[in-house]
């Protein structure tokens, strides 16, 4: 059974403890050849 969870942009706060959200992007993984997930993923980068 696969895990299922839907992320929304509100799930990623601008500040997380002492970290600040620097980038938040949705990436369509279907364009990559040899991927196990053929949908969208969210990449969040904190610094």
Residue 17 CB burial class (10 angstroms; 0-12, 13-18, ≥19): exposed
Per domain, the residue ranges of the chain are 9-46
Q: What is the pTM of this model?
A: 0.72
What is the mean pLDDT of the segment spanning 32-39? Answer: 86
Q: Is residue 28 over pLDDT 90? A: yes
Of 21 and 6, which is predicted with more confidence? Answer: 21
Mean pLDDT computed over 4-19 = 89
Higher pLDDT, 6 or 32: 32
pLDDT tier at 46, thresholds 50, 70, 90: very high
């Amino acid at each position: 059974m696969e895990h299922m969870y839907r992320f929304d942009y509100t799930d990623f706060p601008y500040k997380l403890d002492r970290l600040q959200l620097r980038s938040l992007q949705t990436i369509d993984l279907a364009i990559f050849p040899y991927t196990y997930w053929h949908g969208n993923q969210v990449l969040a980068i904190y610094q």
